[in-house]
């Protein structure tokens, strides 16, 4: 991957049929941006290779931690989230032998869209013997928002990927000002191929706002849902979720898997992250290995994926496996 000759423009972004009559921002600066990221293996570490960044997105240098097999790469949004007309595009290439977690610094706030829509679009390539975890962070659709997320994943025969999407109901915990399921429309469009074979699709169009009956149908009356695509083997034994979370594991005939959650935003988020890091660890250290990253002491405890839900008995969550793991210093 070489440096881009030209910047990311709205012509690089796909418009779904559901938003065919709408247009992203004409003004590129700060509105249309993204990153091209190459992950390379140098010795035992995974590092950032060629990289192109365009405002409002910034990529932090890859963090490597002692005794951790994977590097941590943050994507930073310099604005307050996705505004009406914003478009972000990411191209990620995980070269052979790399191990990395790519994540956002916080939840993605999708602002109201009175005129157009906003979008995040991904092209991800996972080469042989690479392991990539992509956790963009929970999506928070504000009242009146329109959002299109698109991802195309290409997997080499021995490439492995975990991709997690978490959908919150909006700004749900603000008392009388809470917005729950007041979005206008959300379109999800995810496809993964291994070689020439399409192995997984997740495509939907949610039309809001939702009333309580809609919430009962789509989410079983819960406030949040999540989906995890696992391109690689699942361990035979998975940690049990707390009782307030409904989690289902769907093994696909291709060897890949999909997991779905319904539950509270905190519990769903914590359980998805716990499962993700445990599965990734099983690939690098074998069954029962310590989960990747989530107890590294240099991660702030208020990070979006370090929030720990209460268990059914009010104690510390068993889903937060990391709580019993010794602190790991940041490598300097």
Partner 1 sequence: MMINVRLLQITDSALPIGGYMHSWGLETAIARRIVHDPETLERFTARWLTTSLGPMEGVFAASSCRAALAGSIEDVLSINEKAEASIVASTIRGASREMGEQLVALGSTWGWSAAGLAPYLSGPQGEHGWHHCVAFGLLGALAGADPQTVVTAFLHQAALGMIGAGVRAIPVGHTHGQQVLAYIHDELRTLVDGIKDRAPESAGSGCPFYEVLCDEQTRLYARMFRC
Binding pattern for the stretch 190-229 against partner 1, x by CB under 8 A and - elsewhere: -x-----xxxxxxxxxx---------xxxxx-x--x-x--
Minimal CA–CA distance to 204: which of 223, 220, 215, 218?
218
Number of helices (H), then strands (E), belonging to the chain: the values are 2, 17
Q: Are strands 185-194 and 224-231 parallel, antiparallel or unpaired?
A: unpaired
Enumerate residues 91-110 that contact partner 1 by CB under 8 A.
none
Could you tell me which stretch among 47-55, 93-101, 251-259, 303-311 binds partner 1 (CB under 8 A)? 251-259
Please report whether residue 255 would count as binding partner 1 according to CB under 8 A.
no
Site mask, partner 1, residues 257-296, x = CB under 8 A?
A: -x-xxx----------------------------------
Q: Decide whether 108 or 188 has the Cβ nearer to partner 1.
A: 188
Question: Which candidate, 303, 280, 234, places its Cα nearest to that of 126?
Answer: 280
Select the residue interacting with partner 1 from 4, 7, 18, 74 (CB under 8 A): 18
Beta bridge partners of 223: none
Structure tokens, 262: 């319904």
Residue 14 binds to partner 1 (criterion: CB under 8 A):
no
Reference 101, options 129, 145, 137; nearest CA is 137
**Other beta carbons less than 10 A from residue 162's beta carbon:** 25
Q: How near is the Cβ of 203 to partner 1 at its closest, in Å?
A: 3
Query: Which single residue is written with the structure tokens 């020439």?
Result: 196
**47 contributes a contact to partner 1 by CB under 8 A:** no
Q: Least Å distance between CB 252 and partner 1?
A: 7
Q: Cα(33)–Cα(205) distance, rounded to whole angstroms?
A: 24
10 phi, psi to nearest 5 deg: -70, -20
Is residue 253 a contact point for partner 1 (CB under 8 A)? yes
Chain contacts with partner 1 (rule: CB under 8 A): 16-18, 188-189, 191, 197-206, 216-220, 222, 225, 227, 246-254, 258, 260-262
């Amino acid at each position: 991957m070489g440096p881009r000759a030209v910047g990311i423009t709205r012509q690089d972004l796909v418009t779904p049929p559901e938003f065919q009559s709408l247009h992203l921002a004409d003004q590129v600066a700060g509105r249309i941006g993204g990153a091209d990221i190459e992950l390379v293996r140098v010795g035992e570490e995974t590092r950032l290779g060629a990289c192109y960044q365009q405002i409002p997105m910034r990529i932090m240098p890859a963090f490597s931690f002692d005794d951790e097999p994977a590097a941590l790469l943050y994507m930073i949004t310099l604005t307050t989230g996705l505004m009406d007309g914003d478009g972000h595009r990411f191209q990620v290439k995980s070269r052979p032998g790399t191990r990395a977690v790519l994540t956002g610094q916080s939840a993605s706030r999708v602002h109201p869209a009175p005129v157009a829509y906003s979008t995040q679009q991904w092209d991800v390539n996972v080469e042989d013997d690479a392991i990539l975890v992509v956790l963009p962070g929970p999506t928070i659709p504000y009242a009146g928002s329109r959002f299109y997320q698109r991802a195309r994943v290409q997997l080499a025969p021995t490439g492995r990927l975990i991709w997690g999407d978490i959908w919150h109901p909006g700004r749900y915990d603000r008392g009388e000002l809470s917005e729950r399921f007041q979005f206008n429309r959300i379109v999800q469009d995810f496809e993964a191929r291994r070689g020439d074979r399409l192995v997984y699709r997740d495509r939907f169009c949610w039309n809001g706002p939702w009333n309580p009956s809609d919430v009962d149908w789509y989410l079983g009356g819960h406030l949040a849902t999540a989906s995890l695509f696992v391109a690689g083997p699942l361990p035979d034994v998975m940690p049990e979720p707390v009782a307030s979370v409904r989690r289902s594991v769907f093994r696909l005939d291709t060897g890949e898997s999909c997991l779905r959650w319904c539950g509270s935003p905190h519990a769903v988020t914590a359980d998805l992250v716990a499962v993700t890091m445990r599965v990734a660890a099983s690939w690098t250290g074998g069954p029962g290995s310590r989960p990747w990253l989530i107890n590294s002491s240099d991660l702030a405890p208020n990070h979006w994926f370090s929030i720990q839900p209460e268990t059914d008995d009010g104690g510390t969550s068993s889903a937060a496996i990391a709580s019993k793991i010794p602190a790991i210093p940041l490598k300097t």
